[in-house]
A and B are shown apart, each in its own frame.
Chain A
Amino acid sequence: MTETAVAGRHPNELLARPAGFTRDLASVAARSLRQVRRTPENLVQPVVISLFFFLIFVGALEGVARAGGMTDFRAFQLPVATIFAVTGVTRAPALVSDITSGYFDRMLVTPTNRLAMLLGLMVSDLVVAVLLTFPVLIVGFITGVRFVTGPLGLVAFVLTAALWGLVYAGFSYAIALRTGNATVVAQSTMLFFPFVFLTSSLMPEEQLSGWLSAVSTVNPVTYLLQALRSYISGGWDAGAALSGLGAIAVVGLVAIPLALAALRGRTSRS
């Protein structure tokens, strides 16, 4: 029997209500993670690129590094590959699709919490960033890299890298929300190149030439790499760990407010 008589509105029955920030955050993140699961091809590129650079850098430069006195160039390179994997892999392109398809407006006419609409995507990003470190770490283990800090250091390594990916995503979201343009968002990943190459990604800081050395001292990725490397080969080093977290905080203090301002702009009715 069909229930046609009740398909529409029952008088006096208001079913809609604000779900609250936490439930909205969970709803947005759940939808986003379902999208991730259904489009696994989007994760192929960051994994391939990070592994490609790892193998190329190790293949090309390991001998030079050893001649320069570095004992374990693979351990030195693994954090770089990890940064490649987790940086710029965000739901910003999906957000642009939502904006262009009208799904974003559809959410705006619901009582969904506006902040949860962005932070829910970032929850999903954090999960993805953690997952993306796994293939890199596995290849690292296969090629002989070991963590002197043990399993706890491994966990700290993964969380630090994922946290970096999360704050960096603020730039992508700021651009996505500001422009609503898929091409601009795709091009914005280029912003990452100066971050990752104007630093000790290929050689230790003390071997960088004058100008590059100067730039690397103000590049937050330098301190991030120091922290990640300390977990693998340096041993527990509170100074390195804190300066890594400090670098993440500095980038976060720029990127996240930019994203929040862009969200305000996108959801304002003016």
Chain B
Amino acid sequence: MVASQLTHSGEHTAIRCEGLKRRFGSTWAVAGVHLTVPAGQIYAFLGPNGAGKSTTVRMLCTLLAPTEGRAVVGGHDVVADPLQVRLRIGVALQSTALDDTQTGLESLWCQGRFYGMRRQEIARRVAELRDLIALDDALDRRVNTYSGGMRRRLDLAMALVHNPEIVFLDEPTTGLDPVSRMRLWEEVRRLNREHGTTIFLTTQYLEEADQLADRIGIIDQGVIVADGTAEELKSGVGQDLVVAQVSGDLAAAHRALADEPLTRFVEVLDNEISVSVDDGPAALSVVALTLAKVPDVDVHAITLRRPTLDDVFLSFTGHHMPAQQV
């Protein structure tokens, strides 16, 4: 029996947090996270460094006790029953936690023994994982000879040795080159698609959340500021964005655009004004004409584009994702 809970809608719930909080000294790293992840979903936690992503994952993985609130993972409370949670989850934390003195194969066997698996079980799982992680002959080499991408794939395989129901990946592709990143994405998708494994991943990359996740939670300063599918989140910003590069009296420009009936809302950041609209092509000329009528405002460029998760992030937090992380 898969140990998970039924939600009101009848789905199995893999992860549920209710008012999860964690304080370090006087700082609330996680300030009240509520979320539900149905079994079989890929859920991405998107936010900049220090937003509370890793602290939340460490609480869900039984490494850290919540200061307040409660979390149920795989049907078991993380505080009351950590062992039962541990048996059901696979974890690949932020740093690739590998032993350079061992070979890939030895690492997998060692991990299998820590999970109490029998020899035949480990042998079978290693044979199965060999294909998923495509390390081939490298499994017989010591880990210190591996590239960054190979290390991440071994790291993922180690998290999967015991056939977990739920896998936590904390920033799985940070520091990887684009090719290795896409390869890892494909492995995560396969794992989810072919085996129904629930995946909870954290990321600072908008594209990663957009590409991989069934649902995305945007976290900033320890709370989830938005939660939904990528499309839902983006459509909340409007169908289209008209972005104008301007100089001069930005406040006046903001006022003028906000008064336009076509406008859903207006964000001003530095010299950039983003106007959220439902019909971009129709709104483009309206925005241009409106700005032209405002005294003391010079328009340098106007572009029309589809909203990105960064726009979602901006609309909920009032600031962009840090540039190097987008």
Q: Give min CB distance, A252 to chain B, whole Å.
A: 28
Q: Does A60 contact B (CB under 8 A)?
A: no
Stretch at the interface among B86-94, B219-227, B234-242, B284-292: B86-94
Complex CA–CA separation, A107 to B99 (angstroms): 12
Which residues of chain A have C-beta atoms less than 8 A from B89's C-beta? 109
Looking at A10, A14, A17, A23, the one whose CB has the most chain B CB atoms below 10 A away is: A14
A269 touches B65 (CB 8 A): yes
Q: Give min CB distance, A270 to chain B, whole Å.
A: 6
Complex CA–CA separation, A6 to B65 (angstroms): 34
A31 touches B194 (CB 8 A): no
B91 touches A106 (CB 8 A): yes
B87 touches A17 (CB 8 A): yes
> Nearest A residue to B196 by beta-carbon distance?
A9
B94 touches A269 (CB 8 A): no
B128 touches A15 (CB 8 A): no
A18 touches B116 (CB 8 A): yes
* Contact for B86 among A15, A109, A270, CB less than 8 A: A109
Q: Does A101 contact B (CB under 8 A)?
A: yes
Complex CA–CA separation, A11 to B88 (angstroms): 12
Which residues of chain A have C-beta atoms less than 8 A from B191's C-beta? 7-8
> What 0/1 pattern do residues 166 to 199 of B give for CB contact below 8 A with A?
0000000000000000000000001100111100
B196 touches A105 (CB 8 A): no
Which residues of chain B have C-beta atoms less than 8 A from A24's C-beta? 114
B114 touches A101 (CB 8 A): no
Looking at B113, B129, B164, B194, the one whose CB has the most chain A CB atoms below 10 A away is: B113
Complex CA–CA separation, A211 to B106 (angstroms): 54
- Chain A, interface size category, equals 35 or more
Query: Which chain B residues have a beta carbon within 8 Å of chain A's beta carbons?
Result: 1-2, 61-65, 82-83, 86-89, 91, 93-99, 101-102, 106, 110-111, 113-117, 121, 125, 127-129, 131-132, 142, 158, 160, 162-165, 190-191, 194-197
Asked, given contacts A27-B113, A103-B97, whether A11 binds B2 with beta carbons under 8 Å apart, the answer is yes
* Contact for A38 among B86, B101, B190, CB less than 8 A: B101
Q: Does A187 contact B (CB under 8 A)?
A: no
A111 touches B165 (CB 8 A): no
Complex CA–CA separation, A169 to B324 (angstroms): 45
A9 touches B116 (CB 8 A): no
> Nearest B residue to A38 by beta-carbon distance?
B101
Q: Give min CB distance, B132 to chain A, whole Å.
A: 4
> Nearest A residue to B66 by beta-carbon distance?
A269
Besides A16-B163, A101-B98, 6 other CB < 8 A contacts?
A7-B191, A9-B195, A11-B2, A17-B87, A35-B101, A101-B95
Which residues of chain B have C-beta atoms less than 8 A from A4's C-beta? 131-132, 190, 194
Q: Give min CB distance, B288 to chain A, whole Å.
A: 52
Q: Does A209 contact B (CB under 8 A)?
A: no
Complex CA–CA separation, A20 to B121 (angstroms): 17
Q: Give min CB distance, B26 to chain A, whole Å.
A: 16
A8 touches B97 (CB 8 A): no
* Contact for B195 among A7, A17, A106, A269, CB less than 8 A: A7
Which residues of chain A have C-beta atoms less than 8 A from B97's C-beta? 101-106
A16 touches B196 (CB 8 A): no
Complex CA–CA separation, A3 to B124 (angstroms): 10
> Nearest B residue to A14 by beta-carbon distance?
B87
Q: Does A19 contact B (CB under 8 A)?
A: yes
Which residues of chain A have C-beta atoms less than 8 A from B64's C-beta? 269
